[in-house]
C-alpha cells in the first residue's frame, strides 16, 4: 500500500490548468451563460421572490441571508459539474488525458490541474454572485465577504476533489445521475442555502453535517453578513473541508491510477 497522494503544484500542473483556460476562452459565451447567468437567475428569483414573502430570517433580511448561500451554491455546482461531466469528457470521450499522459506530465499533476481548474471556474461564478449581491445591497460586510473568498476557494477544492473521486468510478455517463441526485441536490437543499439547517429534524441535521457544503456555508455566511465567528468552530469547519479534500483526492488518484495504468 503506497502513501495517499496529495495534489501537486508544479509547472506541469499549471500547463494542464492553462490548457483548460484556453478552451474556456474559446467557449466563453456558453461558459458564462451557465456559470454566471444561471446563479444570477437564482439570486434574482430567491432574493426578489422569496425576499418579498420572508420577512426576517436569523435576524436579517432574506436577501442578506441568501447571498452567501447562493455564493456557496454557485461554486459547488460549477465545480462539481466541471470535475464530473467535463472532466469525464476529457478523460473518456476526447481522450485528452491519454494525450497528456504521453508527455512528462504525471497523473497526479494532470488531476491537480483538473481540480484547480474546476475550483477556478467555480470562483468566477461565486465572485459574480458576490458582486451582484453586493450591488443589490445584500452584503452588509464587504470586507468580510472578501475574506470569504479564500474560504470559498477551499470549498471549491473540496467539491472538485469529491467530484473527481466520483468521476474516477464512472463507467458510463448515466453514473453521474446518481452523483447529482445523491450528492449535489442534497447540498443544494439540506446545507443551509435557503434556510437554516436547524429547521430540519435531528437526523437530517446530522446527515447535513457530513456534507462539505454545510461547513462551507457555516463559515461564509457570518463573514458576508458581519456576524461574529467562533474561532474553534470555524477551525473545525475548515479542517473538515481540508481533510475531505485530501481524502477525496487520494481516492480519486488511486482509482484513476488503476484505470490509466495496468
Query: Which residues, in sequence order, are bridge partners of residue 56?
Result: 61
- Between 99 and 233, CB nearer to another protein: 99
Closer of 56 and 258 to another protein (Cβ): 258
Q: DSSP assignment of 82-127, as one string?
A: IIIIIHHIIIIIS-HHHHHHTSS--HHHHHHHHHHHHHHHHHHHHH
* Contact letters for another protein, residues 67-96 (x by CB under 8 A): ---------------------------xxx
202 binds another protein (CB under 8 A): no
CB of 3 to another protein, least distance (A): 17
If binding is defined by CB under 8 A, does position 12 make contact with another protein? yes
> What is the total residue count of the chain?
262
Q: List binders of another protein among 99-128 (CB under 8 A).
A: 99-105
Main-chain phi, psi angles of 202, to 5 degrees: -50, -45
Site string for another protein, 163-182 (x = CB under 8 A): --------------------
Rounded to the nearest angstrom, the gap between the alpha carbon of residue 46 and the centroid of all alpha carbons in its chain is 20
Number of residues that bind another protein (CB under 8 A): 24
Interface with another protein includes 230 (CB under 8 A)? no
Site residues for another protein, window 18-57 (CB under 8 A)? Answer: 18-19, 22-23, 26-27
CA 182 to CA 160: how far, in whole Å? 16
Nearer to another protein, 110 or 248 (CB): 110
Report, in this order, helix, strand and coil percent for the chain, each rounded to 5. 80, 0, 20
Q: Nearest-CA neighbor of 35 among 125, 119, 123?
A: 125
* Contacts to another protein by CB under 8 A: 11-12, 15-16, 18-19, 22-23, 26-27, 94-96, 98-105, 260-262
Amino acid at each position: 500500500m503506497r502513501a495517499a497522494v496529495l495534489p501537486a503544484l508544479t509547472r506541469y500542473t499549471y500547463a494542464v490548468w492553462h490548457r483548460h483556460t484556453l478552451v474556456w476562452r474559446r467557449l466563453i459565451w456558453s461558459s458564462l451563460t451557465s456559470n454566471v447567468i444561471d446563479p444570477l437567475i437564482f439570486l434574482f428569483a430567491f432574493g426578489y421572490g422569496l425576499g418579498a414573502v420572508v420577512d426576517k430570517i436569523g435576524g436579517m433580511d432574506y436577501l442578506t441571508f441568501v447571498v452567501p448561500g447562493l455564493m456557496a451554491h454557485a461554486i459547488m455546482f460549477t465545480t462539481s459539474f466541471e470535475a464530473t461531466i467535463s472532466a469525464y469528457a476529457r478523460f473518456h470521450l476526447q481522450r485528452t488525458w491519454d494525450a497528456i499522459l504521453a508527455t512528462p506530465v504525471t497523473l497526479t499533476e494532470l488531476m491537480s490541474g483538473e481540480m484547480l481548474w474546476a475550483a477556478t471556474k467555480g470562483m468566477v461564478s461565486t465572485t459574480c454572485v458576490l458582486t451582484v449581491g453586493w450591488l443589490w445591497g445584500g452584503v452588509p460586510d464587504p470586507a468580510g465577504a472578501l475574506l470569504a473568498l479564500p474560504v470559498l476557494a477551499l470549498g471549491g477544492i473540496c467539491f472538485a476533489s469529491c467530484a473527481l473521486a466520483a468521476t474516477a468510478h464512472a463507467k458510463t455517463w448515466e453514473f453521474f445521475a446518481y452523483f447529482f441526485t445523491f450528492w449535489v441536490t442534497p447540498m443544494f437543499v439540506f446545507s443551509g442555502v435557503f434556510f437554516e439547517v436547524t429547521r430540519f429534524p435531528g437526523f437530517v441535521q446530522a446527515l447535513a453535517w457530513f456534507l462539505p457544503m454545510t461547513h462551507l456555508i457555516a463559515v461564509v455566511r457570518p463573514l458576508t453578513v458581519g456576524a461574529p465567528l467562533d474561532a474553534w468552530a470555524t477551525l473545525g469547519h475548515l479542517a473538515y473541508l481540508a481533510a475531505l479534500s485530501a481524502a477525496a483526492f487520494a481516492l480519486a488518484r488511486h482509482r484513476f491510477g488503476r484505470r490509466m495504468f495496468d
